[in-house]
């Protein structure tokens, strides 16, 4: 076992916890995945958190998230089975983009794998898990639409006067706000803020508006 305080000098690899770990006799294995983007960055912080979660096996690598050929993560996806759990410190550790994260989550759902994102919580193929998945989908759609909108605006800018100023787009659309309001029914403001990125003040303001509209 490699303690989390040890300096990991390798650029990629696997840490197995417990000398008697054998895939065939261990059910509901807890896998960890750690990644940093450059060789100069330190994996120690992520490895410590994954060790504290009692992961049986941790895959790690130093490679940019924009590259699709993340060999250690691909090995993990091939090995992980129904009933297992994947643990990552943040969602962007195993995804190149929001859409890539959604695709990966969908793949893991289909395999019957639970996902534990330490700064978000457990994501399962349940009604609550699917709600969180829907929220991520809404944010992915918004992100994609925003890119298209900015591209179109960029083309128009060339036709405008030099003193033209682009209006500031809304950070969150109404669909995202509505989904966040639904989450507040079963989660605290702090939890919803962490899940969605919507600030507590924005959540409070929109909840107050909703209460006024419904007469609650």
Q: What is the set of active-site residues? A: 37
Cα 73 from Cα 199, distance rounded (Å): 32
Q: What is the DSSP string of 25-61?
A: G--S-EEEEEEESSTTS--HHHHHHHHHTT-SEEEEE
Name the burial class of residue 140, with classes exposed (0-12), middle (13-18) and buried (19+) by CB atoms within 10 angstroms of its CB. Answer: middle
Q: Residues 86, 87, 89, 93: what is their CA dihedral angle, to the nearest 10 degrees?
A: -20
Tell me the chain's radius of gyration from C-alpha atoms: 21
């Amino acid at each position: 076992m490699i303690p989390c305080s040890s300096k990991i000098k390798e650029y990629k690899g696997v840490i197995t916890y417990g000398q008697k770990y054998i895939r065939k006799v261990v059910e509901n294995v807890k896998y960890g995945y750690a990644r940093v983007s450059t060789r100069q960055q330190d994996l120690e912080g992520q490895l410590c958190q994954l060790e504290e979660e009692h992961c049986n096996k941790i895959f790690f690598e130093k490679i940019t998230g924009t590259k699709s050929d993340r060999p250690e993560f691909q090995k993990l996806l091939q090995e992980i089975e129904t009933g297992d759990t994947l643990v990552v410190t943040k969602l962007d550790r195993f995804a190149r983009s929001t859409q890539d994260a959604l695709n990966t989550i969908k793949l893991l759902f289909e395999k019957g794998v639970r996902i534990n994102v330490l700064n978000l919580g457990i994501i399962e193929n349940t009604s609550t898990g699917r709600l969180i998945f829907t929220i991520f989908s809404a944010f992915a759609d918004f992100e994609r639409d925003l890119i298209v909108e900015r591209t179109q605006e960029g083309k128009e800018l060339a036709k405008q006067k030099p003193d033209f100023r682009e209006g500031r787009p809304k950070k969150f659309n109404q669909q995202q706000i509505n989904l966040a309001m639904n989450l507040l029914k079963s989660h605290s403001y702090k939890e919803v803020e962490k899940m969605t990125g919507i600030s507590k003040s924005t959540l409070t303001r929109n909840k107050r508006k909703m209460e006024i509209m419904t007469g609650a």
